[in-house]
């Protein structure tokens, strides 16, 4: 797939949603991945997991629905869908760690060619660290997808031969969705480019020492 | 046997200085605000606190930290937009932080209650949170050895109890409380309402009475929320 | 997604020869008799079975063993007054036995479902069932390292389900089934009744739908027993 | 305590029941320990645990109460008491292993002076082994009591310096109730004789190399 322009976050969320198999159980990380839920139509019958103890999480609560006892992992009030189930935190993380979720979609600061993920800590000495469920989510599904901008605000590429920030998980990411393209990762470090948005393969290859394989169908 | 007391102050009266206190809740959901306030009033200090977070805004756990009653916190997600009291204490070097991935935190609490001496978890392998920890490859996957977290006392919020001490929770306010109830020498619970024994369906008990040591009935917003939900049906 | 099928035969149709089959139940309570019968009729063989027992009298698991479909059984309590089919197969050297203390069996199944690579348990330390196993002293107590038990398939009996696959159980028939549901690649469940999604209270679900792959509605004595109990109230 | 005659099983069960603190959570093993429940009056408010997933187990079911879904660890149909709770086998054994029960009462083939327990296997080569929850129960309470006859049918004493049968648990038994006396065990191997029934201290001491301490108050 090729597009002339980079895609915006909503378009990217729609693309991710389209790649999730109907009937899947999915955890959407905080931030950009949350947008995916807007494109998961009822017919897709996707069940959302929130790691603070619920399967069948619904949309964000409207003002008159807000219930302090019903929040998501980002501490945002949400709603309940029919067929939902509540459970405690140990059962909830057992569900992730045990590989029962079909897909996790996470944000990232950096991803390596072999699927190493850095998304919790810049490593700056004065930063107060907070990991939450990030390391559990990183290893917490059959497929772990990352959704991020390909470049930092300073123009540095975030898909790297090796990450430089402290790791969240080792070799855990299978696919990366970005505003400039979609990438399948592999243990060997070969990265298959599934789609490019407003960028040529040559331009991409010129920016990185990663061994890219062009599968955009161009 | 579960003791029922009349006030939050009585419930937390025998929490000693230097105790390890497991505090239920994920953010404010399930956080036992009234028990924490009583603990604050009671003056216990040099505490080690285990909670998912390190307090929000100006209530509950945040105030315990503000008042420098907490020497050490074991949590997964201290830094939030409204964790200013923790941030200040941490930057001042006045609180020790043990950062634990959330699922490992839950599992370590469960292990403490379940008599498990340690367990191999894949979470955190290869990261700085596993530095210095024993690792092992088992069937081609890499794991980190983690140990139980025991508490001297757990202070929790449940939804309903019976007089025997069986507990049920409400929605995502359940979170860490069922594990914490099993992991402490003494478990102290605030509940919206204490019903006669036999009122709760034995199939639906989340925390069996054996884990509940002290209870106090305190009505909070949860009661009104449950009533609103009932009305909506 | 949970598939609902019409017959026990369809439910177990894709259990292959040589599979590791986790079978719910403690004695006859919670034992999925109709699924086991279908498995017997279907002809799958060279099975490894995980169950607390090794069959009672002339039904269910006992018949699978009688017909020599089970190469190996992993259980805690094979020998009972009415375990004659197991006894005969065992004495004839025609079934392999891995004897596991009951709590370790439950915890090893939980570990499989929870992605835990191994755990240190005090149970069995210093006994012949820990011979050859790694041990470790942790905080003055001795532990044995035990590993998860994964299944290719779990066949279970639950009480009620909703169409989405959420399950509740009845009384002590719950026993091993919730862990087994998490520990197998495929979980097949017989339930008394499948209700419309939304009929079960989300607070009371014991096995969330994510773990249920195939369901079939089969009414057994449990329905009548529940009705009798309702009537007595 | 001294009595002129050995006590029968029911009398011994009554003595054990009398030693259980009001409000305790207790697991009674299969066989002789089950008799203890007959002497746990309602005022004692003792809650019985059965390891197949229940707290608040009631008496054995009468004929018209028999429910195949409600059985105890011996697979005997039982009843439910108000305030009961059901849970799965992993939670049930976590309750034992985690040391939450106040008392377990178990039968035994042999007990050593240091509290080693043998109650699951004679070690005979042709015996089919079956352990059930025995090893979990052995380490599964704050106090583990044994109830047994002091002698085998062949007249061999079952309280020994060291067990000869395969072990169920190491150093786990704190007290032994027998038809001939009651014994407190200790890590050091010193056994304190709390009571003797139809037996003198000298007779007991003459039969064993255990170091007995007489606390019968004689």
C-alpha dihedral (B195, B200, B204, B209), degrees to nearest 10:
60
Condensed to tens digits (0 to 9), the pLDDT of residues D54-112 reads: 999 999 999 999 999 999 999 999 999 999 999 999 999 999 999 999 999 999 999 99
Extract the tokens encoding C223.
């329905």
Write the CB contacts of B21 (distance below 8 Å, at least 6 apart in sequence): B15, B39, B47, B48, B49, B50, B151, B152, B153, B154, B155
Condensed to tens digits (0 to 9), the pLDDT of residues D63-79 reads: 999 999 999 999 999 99
d(CA B229, CA A98): 33
- Mean of per-residue pLDDT scores for chain C: 97
* Interchain CB contacts (distance < 8 Å): C and D: 149
The residue written with tokens 């003792």 in the block is D46
Q: Which residues on C lie below 8 Å from D121 (Cβ)?
A: 128
d(CA A96, CA A137): 7
The total domain count for chain D is 1
Q: What is the pLDDT of residue B184?
A: 98
Contact call for B115 and D98, based on CB within 8 A: yes
Domain extent, residue D15, equals 2-214
Q: Tell which B residues from 117 to 156 touch C, by Cβ distance under 8 Å.
A: 117-122, 136, 138-139, 141, 143, 147
Contact call for C116 and B114, based on CB within 8 A: no
Is D207 among the catalytic positions?
Answer: no
Q: Which residues on C lie below 8 Å from A47 (Cβ)?
A: 164, 209-210
Candidate list A5, A21, A51, A211, residue with the active-site label: A51
Subunits adjacent to chain C (3 or more Cβ pairs under 8 Å): A, B, D
For residue C122, name the pLDDT band (cuts at 50, 70, 90).
very high
Question: The complex's ipTM?
Answer: 0.97
Q: What percentage of residues in chain C have a pLDDT greater than 70?
A: 100
Q: What is the pLDDT of residue A3?
A: 82
Nearest CA-CA distance, residue B228 and chain A, Å: 9
Q: Which residues on C lie below 8 Å from B179 (Cβ)?
A: none
Q: Does chain B reach chain C with at least 3 CB pairs under 8 Å? A: yes
For residue A107, name the pLDDT band (cuts at 50, 70, 90).
very high
Contact call for B119 and C118, based on CB within 8 A: yes
- Residue A2, pLDDT above cutoff 90: no
How far CA C211 is from CA of C111, C132, D165, in Å, comes to 15, 34, 43
Nearest CA-CA distance, residue B204 and chain C, Å: 5
Query: DSSP readout, A82-138?
Result: EEEEE--HHHHHHHHHTT--SEEEE--SEEETT--EE-S----TTSPP--TTHHHHH
Q: What percentage of residues in chain B have a pLDDT greater than 90?
A: 97
Largest Cα span, chain D: 53
Q: Select the residue of A56, A84, A98 nearest C182 (Cβ to Cβ).
A: A98
Contact present, C94 and C68 (Cβ < 8 Å): yes
Contact call for B79 and A67, based on CB within 8 A: no
- pTM more than 0.90: yes
Condensed to tens digits (0 to 9), the pLDDT of residues B106-128 reads: 999 999 999 999 999 999 999 99
Q: Tell which B residues from 146 to 175 touch A, by Cβ distance under 8 Å.
A: 169-175
Residue of chain D minimizing CA distance to B211? D100
* Residue closest to D20 by CA, chosen among D2, D60, D1, D47: D47
Burial annotation D142-173 (CB, 10 A radius, 16+ → b, else e):
ebbbbbbbbbeeeeeebbbeebebbbbbbbbb
Residue of chain C minimizing CA distance to B159? C203
Q: Which residues on C lie below 8 Å from B118 (Cβ)?
A: 119-120, 136, 138, 143
Residue of chain C minimizing CA distance to A57? C202
CATH architecture type of domain C3-101+109-115+150-232: 3-Layer(aba) Sandwich (3.40)
Mean pLDDT, residues B178-182: 98
For residue B71, name the pLDDT band (cuts at 50, 70, 90).
very high
Question: In this structure, what CATH number is given to the domain that contains residue D168?
Answer: 3.40.1080.10
C197 interfaces chain A, CB cutoff of 8 Å: yes
């Amino acid at each position: 797939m090729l597009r002339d322009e980079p895609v915006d976050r909503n378009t990217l969320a729609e693309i991710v949603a389209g790649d999730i198999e109907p009937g899947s159980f999915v955890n959407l990380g905080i931030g950009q991945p949350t947008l995916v839920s807007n494109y998961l139509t009822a017919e897709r019958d996707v069940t959302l997991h929130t790691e603070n103890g619920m399967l069948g999480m619904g949309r964000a609560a409207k003002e008159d629905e807000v219930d302090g006892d019903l929040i998501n992992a980002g501490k945002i009030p949400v709603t309940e869908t029919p067929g939902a189930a509540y459970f405690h935190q140990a059962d909830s993380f057992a569900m992730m760690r045990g590989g029962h979720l079909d897909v996790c979609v996470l944000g990232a600061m950096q991803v390596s060619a072999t699927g190493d993920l850095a998304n919790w800590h810049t490593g700056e000495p004065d930063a107060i660290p907070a990991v939450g469920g990030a390391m559990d989510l990183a290893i917490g599904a059959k497929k772990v997808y990352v959704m991020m901008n390909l470049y930092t605000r300073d123009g540095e590429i975030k898909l790297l031969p090796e990450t430089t920030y402290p790791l969240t998980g080792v070799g855990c990411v299978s696919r990366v969705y970005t505003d400039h393209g979609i990438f399948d990762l592999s243990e060997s470090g070969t990265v298959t480019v599934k789609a490019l948005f407003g960028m040529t393969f040559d331009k991409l290859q010129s920016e990185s020492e990663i061994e890219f394989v062009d599968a955009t169908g161009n | 046997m579960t003791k029922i007391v009349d006030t939050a102050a009585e419930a937390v009266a025998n929490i000693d200085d230097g105790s390890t206190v497991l505090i239920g809740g994920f953010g404010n959901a399930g956080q036992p605000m009234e028990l924490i306030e009583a603990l604050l009033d009671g003056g216990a200090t040099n505490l080690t606190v285990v909670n998912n977070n390190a307090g929000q805004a100006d209530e509950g756990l945040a105030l315990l930290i503000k008042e420098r009653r907490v020497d050490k916190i074991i949590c997964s997600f201290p830094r939030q937009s409204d964790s200013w009291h923790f941030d200040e204490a941490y930057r001042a070097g006045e609180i020790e932080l043990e950062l634990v991935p959330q699922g490992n935190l839950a599992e370590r609490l469960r292990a403490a209650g379940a008599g498990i001496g340690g367990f191999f978890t894949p979470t955190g392998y290869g990261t700085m949170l596993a530095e210095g920890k024993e690792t092992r490859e088992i069937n081609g996957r890499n794991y980190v050895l983690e140990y139980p977290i025991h508490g001297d006392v757990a202070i929790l919020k449940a939804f309903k109890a019976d007089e025997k001490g069986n507990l049920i929770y409400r929605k995502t306010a359940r979170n860490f409380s069922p594990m914490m109830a099993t992991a402490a020498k003494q478990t102290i619970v605030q509940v919206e309402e204490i019903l006669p024994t036999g009122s709760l369906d034995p199939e639906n008990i989340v925390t069996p009475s054996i884990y509940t040591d002290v209870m106090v009935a305190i009505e909070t917003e949860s009661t009104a929320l449950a009533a609103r939900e009932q009305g909506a049906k």
